[in-house]
Amino acid sequence: MDHAHADSGSDKPLLTAIAVILVVYAITAVFGWPEAGARKIGEANHAKHIEHAEPADHAAEATAKEIDAEEYGLDIQKAPPPYWMVIPFVALLGAIAVLPLVPATEHWWDSNLNRFKVAAALGALTLLYYLFFHDSPIDGHFPVHYVVGPSPGALNWAQTWTVLANAMLNEYVPFIMLLFSLYTISGGIRITGDLRAHPKTNVMFIAIGGVLASLVGTTGAAMLLIRPLLETNRERKYVVHTVIFFIFVVCNCGGCLLPLGDPPLFLGYLRGVDFLWTLNLWKEWLFVNGLLLAIYYLFDHFRYYPRELPPDVSLDETRVSGLKITGLWPNAVLLLGVILSVALLDPNKIVPFTEFRPWVYLREIVQLGLVGLSLIGGEKAVRQENNFNYHALVEVAALFSGIFICMQPALQILGVRGPDLGLASPTHFFWATGSLSSVLDNAPTYVVFFETAQTIEASPGATLVAGVQEHLLVAVSLGAVFMGAMTYIGNGPNFMVRAIAEKSGVKMPSFFGYMLWSCLILLPIFALTTLLFL
């Protein structure tokens, strides 16, 4: 799966795997396991509602703590892992940032197998700590919240499994399935054509991409539009700035209106943020993306387009073909199905207008089925013309398998030490989240500061969203999504678009050359966003 999708019949192994998974899920459904998981979630949510609705029974609470303490043989007070246990997490994120840039390792790092080896090794180190050394209770989250203590005098198998289940079953599987479905289905749609590459035309491409980014994800929108944008601009000499602004808007800032838009927001959705809550960010979305489009138009209209040579302009004006979209059927309908599955099949919520609570992993099984329908019913020639392959997706899958495990100690440390970091205001959270999202992947960065914000004591009358004060959640969400645009490594689609542009003959800036653009253009916009909205 490291290579192209081009060979005839290459979908057969994947379709076979999908069929096997669907059959296995059907068998588990016969035994009632997914339904039992959903029932446990419903009972836990009901108990939590009762707990918040009724005065606490302090005597019962004390008794529960005594029972827990007796069971664990130690104080129920949870102690976080030592600070040095964030080293595997930092090492993995550092590898993602640095190894592609070092000449001695850049080709070695191109192999997804090597990426997985690094991620797996660092993830294994994290799990070994819990197996041998952790001596305090930890929280489990799959399928419902529970507490598991260490095993005095024995290996901590139960705790190690709990950490693994938190990382993989509770977070990684839903995360990667959403990316897989959006990436694969959108890969079956192709937009071709060569319009006149006027500044207004390019603004139209970037603006449409900014809207699509929230609907089909930044990766899906970028893959749909970058090729026709480059085709439209192939007669022009000055194209670099167009690709850079495309990365700013389509690969990052456009994706903050729905959890589908950017991986950080989907992780927030998995932690209890309502599916439509992110629509509250429309003012910030409109402000930032509107400014970026206006700045791009001014750059292109007054600086770059006038510098194009007359022969190139003449060729651009005459070599024109209309836009043509192929592969919409059935893929457009299937993308809508993915959106509906995310919105309606959350096991933490009853399906609207019904009494049905979605079974555990039903959402992911539906998404997997939609991928199968896309591969079977879509035109294979469209994917071949798109040069569609799974390399980028496998890269994300390999790296994030380690990231989700390695970040567990950091999350537990923040759960206890978060209030001591000195982060208190939305401005603090916006710039702290954004700064790390610029140089690390924005999805785990979002999780870290989301968990930190949960530890901040709510002010009187504050609105809570998934246990986080709403104004802090706004800041974390905007910081993670917007500032992923600051570097090539801030968000996965950034590198993908850069690679496609360079294969098309556009000489893109170096890592630090790109940062010069982003610092000069994005930082003033983000400063204004802070003053106006946070």
pLDDT tens digits, residue range 238-260?
A: 999 999 999 999 999 999 999 98
Planar angle of CA 251, 112, 410, nearest 5 degrees:
70
Planar angle of CA 75, 77, 83, nearest 5 degrees:
115
CA atoms within 13 A on the CB side of 315: 11
Task: Please report the DSSP string for 227-291 in residue order.
Answer: HHHHHHTTT-S--HHHHHHHHHHTTTGGG-SSTTTSHHHHHHHHTT--TTGGGGGHHHHHHHHHH
pLDDT of 8:
41
pLDDT of 421:
79
pLDDT at 69 over 70: no
pLDDT tier for residue 530 given thresholds of 50, 70 and 90:
very high
> How is residue 333 written in tokens?
């309908």
pLDDT of 50:
65
Q: What contacts 264, CB < 8 A, 6 or more positions away? A: 437, 442, 443, 445, 446, 447, 477, 480, 481, 484
Planar angle of CA 24, 26, 27, nearest 5 degrees:
65
Dihedral sign for Cα atoms in the order 408, 410, 413, 414: negative
* Cα separation values, 267 from 78, 167, 404, 527, Å: 24, 12, 11, 26
pLDDT at 122 over 90: yes
pLDDT of 448:
84
**pTM for the full predicted model:** 0.85
pLDDT of 443:
81
pLDDT at 58 over 60: no
Which tens digits make up the pLDDT trace of 477-507?
999 999 999 988 788 788 778 888 888 899 9
Which tens digits make up the pLDDT trace of 327-345?
999 999 999 999 899 989 9
CA–CA separation, 218 vs 210, rounded Å? 8
pLDDT at 62 over 60: no
Which tens digits make up the pLDDT trace of 423-470?
889 999 999 999 988 876 688 789 889 989 988 888 888 899 999 999
pLDDT at 71 over 70: no
pLDDT at 390 over 60: yes
